[in-house]
A and B are shown apart, each in its own frame.
Chain A
Amino acid sequence: MKVSVQQVAGRRSGRCFCFVFRHSRSRRATARQYRSHQHRWGNLPSPLSPFPTSSCCPFLAFLLLLAWFSLPIPSHAQPYTHFLTADEIQQAGITRLGDLFRLIDDWETVSIDGYHHDVAAHGLAPLQTSRWMLFVDGQPVDLALLGTSNLNVLPLSMSAIDRVAVYSHPVLIAGVFAPAGALHIHTTPPARGYSAQGQFSAANQVNDPGPYRYTRFASPNIDRIGPTYEAALALADSAGHLRAHLGMDQHHATDERIETRVRTLYQGTASPRLLLAKAGGDATLHRLGRHRMYGGHARLQDLRFIEAIGLEVPTDHRFTFAGIQGDAAPEGSNTFRYRVSYTSSDLDPRQSSTGIDLNFRQDRIRANAEAYFSTPSVNGTIGLSADHQRSFAGPFLTSNPLFIPHFYGQVGVRSSAFSAQATTDGFIAAGKAGYTAQVVVRAHPTEAHTLSLTSSAMRHPYATENSLWFWMQQGYRLPMLADDAVQLPDTFAQAQTYTVDARWTYAPTNNVALSFSGAYRRFLSHTLADYRLTFDSTTTGFQTQTHVRTFLAGQTVQLGAMLRWRWHPSLEQRLTYRYLRTPQVDLAFFNAWAPLPWHRASYMVRFVPLDRLSLYARLTYRSATPWLLFQQAARDSGGLYEDDLPPRWLLDVTVQKRFWKNHLRTSFSLRNVLNERERQHPAGAVSHMVFHVALEMYFGH
């Protein structure tokens, strides 16, 4: 019997290997083609572009004019938006904000340590730029700092989330145009009277050495994930609410690859770990309209991998945000809204580090005022907003304030079978003008069929990307780097992006929906980093040569399908598939996009047989990903790092039971139940099955 088991395993692995090989070989061939292409064409925009710059603007301008002036009847057409509900988030056993990405099918995430996530939203930006945006109750929250964003530092309680809107296309929210997708977290108002909530969660990954640690079969220890604690208090009545929360979290860096790198710059006696403490609160007042104030602070003692340095840098990351917003007549058809927000991100050296100091701080103030009107057939918004940002980096950089004024408008028209919405946003950044224009058209030829088309055009000065390279050009210096380790261009090009999203949905009943979608993005004059990583045997990290290239061109094409059905009110299932390609692109563009899998599929089943019992399962497939920039380092590292990550199947299962009239909720999750060897990044941790437990108590009405 053993023999047959091995034979089966062998056949399986053999088939798996062939699959990997086929994928990586074809993609490498494509890379070779584009090296040749770049040799011939340099970084010029691709001559094969179907949307050359000169012809695209008139085309979109025409669409805009059409929507603004020609359509017969107005509407509230909105681009397709996927919502994660609080129920789904809880039933999936999610207790960290960063783990929300596990539930989003259209977005790709890659994590080195399981705590920081590089995110690419639906082909809108590569992983290295982190250009997606976050909004909380209509307020932008500027998490991005030196080119990365960590959702976990947001001072917001998981229990406050009502739903998360996932925008997988450019979108205007609260006077801010998010060019590369957005997450919009909507919070739920607390129940009337007093309420209190507390939560504990922890997880443990398998493959600890156990008792064999004392034998010659010892293996490295793998510490637990968490524990995570949260507590919240709230008071609410008809006039408004007050709410405050505290949270603490830990994440351990015990993967042997990461721990060795971390020890280069981390000198603590305790095992290296990330420590997060955060507190926040919000209040609403329902007088003279509806007004909301909020604020929060988070401190993350971080071990942050910086690709340009090639190591984890121990940092003390402090994040503060505060704001106020209001709506003069929230239920009315005509209203006036205002928003003011402040965010501050500060990177200091962590106590237990060798003293290496990223020494960067950024303060940002956003203000926005808009007027909104609505009739049964027409609605519109017109507004002004301003973004003021300033960066500090010790003696090297105290930047001139960057002030970006915006003027924007949105109009929608609607009839029974057709709706359209046009949006435009104009702004000036660092003396250069930029614009965004978008048209959304939605048609219902029959009750069961919906067709939607979203088209956008954007021209953005590079300063608006708030990237590490921009600040380095302004005078910021990354520590530990030789002078020639990063080559910056003399000037950054103004990026142009054109996107089209089309979707057909067939929903014959409320219980079944089938949709097919396609998305095309054209990028011109973009700026990306081209890394050359080599293995550093002293630190087991990387020596990195970074060449920041501008005037890059490329395009992404995606096809997708989704089937959602309910056989029974208690049983919901969703099947999705997405295919992504980056044809005819510059080499640096190709290198930046190659880590995204071409194929991704997922199957979700949610079984809620009783009000207080649920079973949630999600099976995800990602095809192999070649990391071309890590080829040299992988070769030299003797197997420590890989440049070709194999395809992987991940199955997560969660059982949740609520007790005591909903006062107590427990979740048991097994993540990666198939115990696949999961590695998302060549320099990242290898993880296996994880057992996750969460316990939440709630007292209130």
Chain B
Amino acid sequence: MVRRGFCIGALLLVATLAHAQERPHPFETLEFRLGGTQNVNTNFLHTFWQQGVGLEGGLTTPFYLGYAEVGGAVHRYGVTEPPQVPGFDALLLYAGWGLHANLGRLRLEGGLRVGNYRMTFNEQTFAGVRTESELALMGHGRLALRIVGPVSLYASGGYQKVYTFVRMNLWYTSAGLSYRFQTPGWLETVLR
């Protein structure tokens, strides 16, 4: 309930701030971002696996309302000692939508993502199915500070639910750099 409240509240905040902002044309720009990401909460999953530092990347573009994004993130989950289960690498590929607000050099974003969470298990130590995919839903917020020209520094946080039979409820924080540029004409035509 607290998590849902947080996500809804964050989205409402951004929506309020986004109101009456100047709206760019859809697909006018693209923002590429790359950063590190870390799972920060501890729950039942972490009885068996230890989270490692991950990598995330994505593209964001203005949409008819708010923004749209696609992206991915890789996380590595090692095992606790002694190993009872295999470790796994998780790849999240997602598409998302959200609202944003510009506050001078600051930019605040909040939105929802839906994607596929693909887990690749270490089959060398444990036999069995090597990969598995599951639906993942995520709510997230991001704060970006324009540091020079089109380059920004960002920090973000999000809550992700992976719909395995025993749900994987994960909180993430991320930080990195983003670069905004004009969408090439041909690509804008495709996106429109």
Shortest beta-carbon distance, B28 to chain A, in Å? Answer: 16
Bound-state CA distance A670–B135 (Å) is 10
Give the residues in chain A near B64, CB-CB below 8 Å.
609-610, 613
What's the minimum C-beta distance from B9 to chain A, rounded to whole angstroms? 16
Stretch at the interface among A72-80, A447-455, A657-665: A657-665
Measured between beta carbons, the chain B residues less than 8 angstroms from A210 are 119, 132, 134, 162, 164-166, 168
Chain A residues closer than 8 Å to B49, beta-carbon distance: 211
Check if A632 is an interface residue, CB within 8 A of chain B.
no
Residues of A within 8 A of B192 (CB): 612, 659, 661
Contact B189 A209 (CB under 8 A): no
For the complex, give the distance between the alpha carbons of A610 and B119 in Å: 37
CA distance A668 to B113 in the complex (A): 12
Asked if B126 lies at the interface with its beta carbon under 8 angstroms from chain A, I say: yes
User: Which residues of B, 161-176, contact A by the 8 Å Cβ criterion?
Assistant: 162-166, 168
Closest to B77 in A: A211
Cβ contacts under 8 Å, B116 to chain A: 204, 691
Does B95 sit at the interface, judged by CB under 8 A?
yes
Q: Which of A249-264 contact B (CB under 8 A)?
A: none
Instruction: Write 19 A-B pairs (CB below 8 A) sorted by A numbering.
Output: A208-B133, A208-B164, A209-B132, A210-B164, A211-B45, A211-B48, A211-B85, A211-B88, A211-B121, A212-B164, A212-B166, A213-B128, A214-B126, A219-B165, A221-B129, A612-B192, A659-B191, A660-B190, A691-B135
Interface residues of A in 175-233 (CB under 8 A from B): 204, 206-215, 217, 219, 221, 224
Chain A residues in 8 Å Cβ range of B133? 204, 208, 224
Whether A206 pairs with B129 at a CB distance below 8 angstroms is no
CB distance from A669 to the nearest CB of B (A): 10
Kindly state whether residue B1 has any CB partner on chain A within 8 Å: yes
Residue of A1, A214, A689 with most chain B CB atoms under a 10 A cut-off: A214
- Cα-based distance from A213 to B48 in the complex (angstroms): 12
Q: Per-position contact with B for A276-295: 1 when CB-CB < 8 Å, else 0?
A: 00000000000000000000
A18 cross-chain contacts in B, Cβ below 8 A: none
A29 interface contact, C-beta 8 A: no
Question: Does any Cβ of A come within 8 Å of B114's Cβ?
Answer: yes
A214's nearest neighbour on chain B, judged by CB, is B85
Q: Which of B7-44 contact A (CB under 8 A)?
A: none
Shortest beta-carbon distance from B139 to chain A in Å: 15
Contact A208/B165 with A214-B86, A659-B192, A660-B190 known, Cβ cut-off 8 Å: yes
Q: What separation, in Å, do the CA atoms of A664 and B48 have in the docked complex? A: 43
Residues B119 and A215 in contact, CB atoms below 8 Å apart = no
Interface residues of A (CB under 8 A from B): 1, 5, 204, 206-215, 217, 219, 221, 224, 609-610, 612-613, 659-661, 664, 668, 670, 689, 691
- Closest beta carbon of chain A to B74's beta carbon, Å: 15
Min Cβ gap A9→B in Å is 12
Cβ-closest chain A residue relative to B191 = A659
> Is A209 a contact of B190 with CB atoms below 8 Å?
no
Instruction: Report chain A residues within 8 Å CB of B2.
Output: 1
Closest to A609 in B: B64
Q: Within 8 Å CB of A206, what residues of B?
A: 134-135, 163-164
> Per-residue 0/1 for B72-112: is the Cβ within 8 Å of any A Cβ (1 yes, 0 no)?
00000100000011101000000100000000000000000
Chain B, interface SS category: mixed
B30 smallest CB distance to A (angstroms): 14
A214 touches B128 (CB 8 A): yes
Q: Specify which chain A residues have a CB less than 8 angstroms from the CB of B88 in the assembled complex.
A: 211
Q: Name the 6 nearest CB pairs between A and B, nearest first.
A: A210-B164, A206-B163, A219-B165, A214-B85, A660-B190, A691-B135
A213-B129, A221-B129 known; A664 and B190 CB under 8 Å?
yes
Having A207-B163, A208-B134, A221-B129, one finds 18 other A-B pairs with CB under 8 Å, namely: A204-B116, A204-B135, A208-B165, A209-B164, A210-B132, A210-B162, A211-B48, A211-B121, A211-B168, A213-B129, A214-B48, A214-B121, A214-B126, A215-B85, A659-B190, A660-B190, A660-B191, A668-B95
What's the least CB distance linking A340 to chain B, in Å? Answer: 46
Q: Which residues of chain B are within 8 angstroms of A5 by Cβ–Cβ distance?
A: 1
- Measured CB to CB, the nearest residue on chain B to A675 is B163
A99 to B114, CA, bound (A): 23
Alpha-carbon separation in the docked complex, A204 to B132 (Å) = 11
Q: Is the CB of B135 within 8 A of A689?
A: yes
Distance in angstroms between the alpha carbons of A623 and B119 in the assembled complex: 38
Instruction: Tell me the smallest distance from the CB of B103 to a CB of chain A, in Å.
Output: 27
> Whose C-beta in chain A lies nearest to the C-beta of B85?
A214
With A209-B165, A612-B192: A204-B1 Cβ-Cβ less than 8 Å: no
Using Cβ atoms and an 8 Å threshold, which residues of chain A touch B134? 204, 206, 208, 210
- In the bound complex, residues from chain B placing their C-beta under 8 Å from that of A211 are 45, 48-49, 77, 85, 88, 119, 121, 164, 168
How far is it, in angstroms, between the C-alpha of A219 and the C-alpha of B132 when the chains are bound? 13
